[in-house]
Amino acid sequence: MATIYDVARTAGVSPKTVSRVINGDGAVKASTKQKVQKAIADLGYVPSTAARLMRSNKSGLVGLITGAISLSPDRSEASGLPDLFIVQGIQKAMEHSGKTLLIADTGGHSDRVPKLIRTFEEHRVEGIIYVADYHRRVELPTVSDATKLVLANCYDDAGTPCILPHDFQGQYALVRSLIAKGHSRIGYITLTPGHEATTLRTAGYRSALDEAGIAFDPALLMPAGVDASDGAAEEQLLWDAIDRLLSLDRPPTVICFGNDRMAMRAYGILRSRGLSLPDDISVAGYDNYKLITQTLYPTLTSAELPYAAIGIRATELLLSMIEGNAPPTKDPILVSGPVVHGNSVKDLPTPITHLSSIGRTTK
């Protein structure tokens, strides 16, 4: 590959002058500039970032660590890779920064992270974004002070700057919209208990009920997520949870699910019980994973998990930190998403519910 010296010799000037032409700094006579540019074109010269980095100590690289790309096929295909949208957001936000994004993948093995960080440091990245596959706590090895670090979709105990989805607000807004449509018996089949998302969303669910003066009924709330990616067990749990809800004296008029995939399965289960959607029962999901929400029939109402926005916010924060600014806050930055309405939720005749509830209240 041609070097700056080859170009200089071909153009009959010094390497420094070629450098000036490439970088557009210093004064170069128009005729000289043309000679140099011709030589560059003729030789197919491409400057080496490595050599440039050695002098400037500015790599122009930003590292991204994720498991989104090469999660083990089973898990990734089951979950539908929603966290990949975070990576998309990062790409988008990085596009005009002039920096190059170096993406590394854990391949599902978090013990590979230190090695990836090491590789990034060898390449002298200016910052690293770590993306988790779901909202959770992580522990990362310490990185050199010169390397800025931002967490997306996760947080740690060290107070590393992080961007998180506003799970409380999401479920709260979703349930609020269901109440506005006249529902008051609202079932909620959650993801695995103990997960951040489950805890926060359950709080949002209860908060929306409270606000509307609807008493919380524990029988309407149950988990159906499992830790292992055991499809069969998950299916059984889901079937059982739906069965228990439908067997209640006062069954729910709408069921919320922990994610869109559970809701998608529920479509089949509910129909196999002879129920029609949304006339006999309404359904809502979570994530707004469009492949599901928009392709299902009827389209699915869901709370959007703002993955792309998380990625964008994380990138903006990192770039700002690279420029020398301190993180604006020590608290996690929460990103909210809208409720996306499909046809899976029926409008109930509110007046009746309303009147009867008034009747009861006033009796």
Partner DNA sequence: CACGCCTATGACATCGGTGTCATGACATCG
Partner DNA sequence: CGATGTCATGACACCGATGTCATAGGCGTG
The rounded distance, in Å, linking the Cα atoms of 160 and 151 is: 7
Instruction: Using the structure block, give the residue that is written with the tokens 């019980």.
Output: 273
Among 34, 38, 41, 51, binds DNA (CB under 7 A): 51
Q: Does position 228 bind DNA by CB under 7 A?
A: no
Nearest to its own copies of 120, 188 (CB atom): 120
Q: Is the peptide bond before 298 cis (omega within 30 degrees of 0)?
A: yes
The rounded distance, in Å, linking the Cα atoms of 238 and 264 is: 11
Q: Does position 37 bind DNA by CB under 7 A?
A: no
Q: Does position 298 bind its own copies by CB under 8 A?
A: yes
Identify what 291 binds: DNA, its own copies, none; CB under 5 to 8 Å per kind: its own copies
The rounded distance, in Å, linking the Cα atoms of 175 and 252 is: 13
Q: Is 135 helix (H, G, I), strand (E, B) or coil?
A: strand
The two three-digit tokens of residue 199, written as one number: 């805890």
The rounded distance, in Å, linking the Cα atoms of 145 and 324 is: 12
Q: Does position 120 bind DNA by CB under 7 A?
A: no
User: Cα-flanking dihedrals φ and ψ of residue 20, to 5°?
Assistant: -65, -40
The rounded distance, in Å, linking the Cα atoms of 62 and 338 is: 30
Among 148, 201, 261, 313, binds its own copies (CB under 8 A): 261
Q: Is the peptide bond before 278 cis (omega within 30 degrees of 0)?
A: yes
In the complex, the smallest distance separating the C-beta of residue 26 from DNA, rounded to whole angstroms, is: 5
Sequence-separated (6 or more) residues with CB below 8 Å from residue 290 = none
In the complex, the smallest distance separating the C-beta of residue 81 from its own copies, rounded to whole angstroms, is: 6
Q: Does position 360 bind DNA by CB under 7 A?
A: no
- Tell me if 310 sits within 8 A of 161, measured CB to CB: no
Q: Which of these ranges, 94-102, 159-167, 251-259, 330-338, lies near its own copies under the rule CB under 8 A?
A: 94-102
The rounded distance, in Å, linking the Cα atoms of 62 and 156 is: 21
Nearest to DNA of 115, 354 (CB atom): 115
- Tell me if 2 sits within 8 A of 45, measured CB to CB: yes
Q: Does position 183 bind its own copies by CB under 8 A?
A: no
Contact code string over 48-87 relative to its own copies, x by CB under 8 A: xxxx-xx----x---------xxx-xx-xxxxxx--xx-x
In the complex, the smallest distance separating the C-beta of residue 128 from DNA, rounded to whole angstroms, is: 19
Binding site for its own copies (CB under 8 A): 1, 44, 46-51, 53-54, 59, 69-71, 73-74, 76-81, 84-85, 87-88, 91-92, 95, 100-105, 107, 118-119, 121-124, 144, 146, 231, 261, 264-265, 267-269, 271-272, 289-291, 294-298, 308
Binding site for DNA (CB under 7 A): 1, 3-5, 12-17, 19-20, 22-23, 25-29, 31-33, 45-48, 51-52, 54-57
